[in-house]
Amino acid sequence: MTDAPIIAQKGPYATEVVEGKNYFWCACGRSKNQPFCDSSHKGTGISPVKYTATKTGKVFFCGCKQSSKMPLCDGTHNKL
């Protein structure tokens, strides 16, 4: 059985990333290190999503965990 993700915040996490670096986005909403995974998903049936930065700069990681473009924000939080 898979638990439903928890809304960590109703808005994106603006985060500076480095080109070529891998990031593991928290998909469950339980991480204390948002928007990144801290292994709090164990036992939920939800796994983190790997994101490899294509360029250095700011990206907006989803905070509501409902985006159709995970791990990036698509504005879904505006409908919650």
How far apart are alpha carbons 80 and 65 in whole angstroms? 11
Domain boundaries, the chain: 1-80
Percent of the chain predicted with pLDDT > 90: 96
Burial 44-73 (b: 16+ CB within 10 A, else e): bebebbebebeeeeebbbbbbbbbeebbeb
Mean pLDDT, range 32-56, rounded to an integer: 97
pLDDT-derived band at 3, boundaries 50, 70, 90: confident
The pTM of this model reads 0.93
